[in-house]
Structure 1
Amino acid sequence: MNYNAENLRNALAAEYVLGTLRGRARKRFQQLIMQFSSIRETTWIWEQHLNGLGTQLTPVEPDAGVWHKVAISLGLDNQLNKAEVIPLPNKHNKLWLGLASLASAAAIVLAVLLWRVDAPAVLPNTQQVAVMQSENADTLWLIEISQDSIEVQATSQITRRTNNDYELWMVAKDGRPPISLGLLPQSGRISLPKHKLFDQLDIAALAVSLEPLNGSPTGTPTQVLYTTKLVTI
């Protein structure tokens, strides 16, 4: 099968971005994204086109049932009533679950975003990757997980904060409190040490919080801004 044929390439890329390409076909297409620049470019074009359509929709506040379904999809349904899972005020709990719904969309375009012209190449020993996006689908941080470190590249879309820091957290599916992975750069690229539990836990999502300078004073997220999922490559 000639995956570089224009009609087939566009059809697969559109299904991939929409999320209707699943199972083995989706995994195969993710491999093709890494192998062929033409497929990466086509997928990127479809993501921009479909995402643009989404921004034209009038926002609607989901009901409580939607938040519950998001929790189930992240494997957190048994932890909703445990205060220690996300020890934040109620309005931030709702924001945390709401932003978690962005995780799937971020994972869909992850491989493409990491190959954009203005992004660095994926490191040879990278095991997992993630892209942290805003509610408007602006790419903020590109994250690469290797055996020993977490490489983070900031983009120009980040809102610079002189009196605050951004902090990266991992959220485990077992319901334990989020674990800090370190402060994120507001420009450039840094390497964070990989937490000893990173490979031992089943991770539901990565999250970014807004903190006072030097990070969370309590050891828990102060104001959760964004979440995303990890993709294994």
Structure 2
Amino acid sequence: MKLAAHPELLDRLAAQYALGVLRGGARRRMEHLAREEPAVHAAILRWQDRLAGVSELQATAEPVDKVWCGIEARLGWKPPVERPATVQAASPVASPAASPAAGWWQRLWSTPVFWRGAAAAMAVVTVLSIGIGMHGAQQREAAPAAVIAVLNDDQARPAMLVSWDASARSLIVRRLDHIKLSEQQVLQLWALPTDGKPRSLGVIGRAPQARLAMAAAPAAVPALAVSIEPTGGSPSADGPSGPVVFKGPVLHNPL
């Protein structure tokens, strides 16, 4: 298959290659195609140029001594510091599993994998917002959509970008994943409040890009998630009925 004949797929794979989330055999095939097809090589270069200044966007920070001590202890370079029994008894740490009544979306806040990709997402979101837009947005003069969330898969890899188009009052979602859906399956986007039930933001479907009309951008919502649902969306009034495949914190709430 000639990737140049499929510009949407080429742009998505080039973005994944430049971000470093395309790995293994898929990355080797992309490198082979880049040597064989000039259009593939040019697409990769365009994304690498966009991401070239990402490291300059991140301010330098010096880890505190406590962090270094923890790293050294995990590597076996020094014995871990034992805390007195009285201190441990006075400072119990509650486990997420200790609150069975809490919803799965509320327990996400305390799981490390949920936040593993957030720092990297914040570093690339400014650069990605320059080059991301729907085909319809490219056909009219409008302000660029602002990326508000980068949703990750269960391995903390970027899988979906969510942007807010203020001029069209709509959310734009762009998939970076490779999930195969059947004809009876669609993706559905959810807002995850800190309390209450997940709120549906719309059915994405199976397309690599989609636009969800909304009266206003999701406000005061700390995170978004995507689930696999039957055609037409989740039949449950309590939230997703299928597996949740992508999730991530809201990085920016547009005014």
Distance of aligned partners of 1:149 and 1:102 in 2 relative to their CA distance in 1, 3 Å threshold: farther
Mapped partners of 1:203, 1:164: distance in 2: 26
1:150/1:191 contact within 8 Å kept:
yes
Q: Which runs of 5+ in 1 are unaligned?
A: 1-35, 44-63, 70-79, 87-92
1:96/1:224 contact within 8 Å kept:
no
Mapped partners of 1:167, 1:182: distance in 2: 6
Decide which of 187, 191, 197 is 1:166's aligned counterpart. 187
One-letter amino acid of the counterpart of residue 230, structure 2 = P
Post-superposition Cα deviations, 1:99-123, rounded to whole Å, max 9, x if no partner, equal: 964332232122426746xx97146
1:132/1:142 contact within 8 Å kept:
yes
Would you say 1:217 and 2:235 are equivalent positions? yes
1:30-49 to 2 correspondences below 5 Å = 37-40=51-54
Mapped partners of 2:161, 2:126: distance in 1: 7
- Please provide the CA RMSD for this pair: 3.7
Post-superposition Cα deviations, 1:136-185, rounded to whole Å, max 9, x if no partner, equal: 23332111123321101112423333322211100112x12111001124
2:170/2:217 contact within 8 Å kept:
no
Distance of aligned partners of 1:40 and 1:231 in 2 relative to their CA distance in 1, 3 Å threshold: same
One-letter amino acid of the counterpart of residue 160, structure 2 = W
1:100/1:227 contact within 8 Å kept:
no
Distance of aligned partners of 1:224 and 1:112 in 2 relative to their CA distance in 1, 3 Å threshold: same
Distance of aligned partners of 1:187 and 1:104 in 2 relative to their CA distance in 1, 3 Å threshold: same
Mapped partners of 2:51, 2:246: distance in 1: 29
- 1:103 is matched with 114
One-letter amino acid of the counterpart of residue 203, structure 2 = L
Number of equivalenced pairs: 156
Distance of aligned partners of 1:163 and 1:120 in 2 relative to their CA distance in 1, 3 Å threshold: farther
Most deviating of 96-105 and 128-137: 96-105
Decide which of 147, 150, 153 is 1:131's aligned counterpart. 150
- 1:112 is matched with 124
Q: Structure 1 vs Structure 2: percent identity of aligned residues?
A: 20
Distance of aligned partners of 1:197 and 1:176 in 2 relative to their CA distance in 1, 3 Å threshold: farther
Post-superposition Cα deviations, 1:36-82, rounded to whole Å, max 9, x if no partner, equal: 84332688xxxxxxxxxxxxxxxxxxxx944269xxxxxxxxxx565
1:106/1:229 contact within 8 Å kept:
no
Partner of 1:108, secondary structure, is helix
Partner of 1:104, secondary structure, is helix
Would you say 1:140 and 2:159 are equivalent positions? yes
One-letter amino acid of the counterpart of residue 201, structure 2 = L
2:187/2:205 contact within 8 Å kept:
yes
One-letter amino acid of the counterpart of residue 105, structure 1 = R
Mapped partners of 2:106, 2:213: distance in 1: 28
Partner of 1:129, secondary structure, is strand
- 1:207 is matched with 225
Distance of aligned partners of 1:128 and 1:122 in 2 relative to their CA distance in 1, 3 Å threshold: same
1:1-233 to 2 correspondences below 5 Å = 37-40=51-54, 65-67=94-96, 86=103, 93=104, 97=108, 101-110=112-121, 111-112=123-124, 115=127, 121-122=131-132, 124-147=143-166, 148-173=169-194, 175-194=195-214, 196=216, 198-199=218-219, 202-219=220-237, 220-222=239-241, 223-232=243-252
Q: Which runs of 5+ in 2 are unaligned?
A: 1-49, 58-92, 134-142
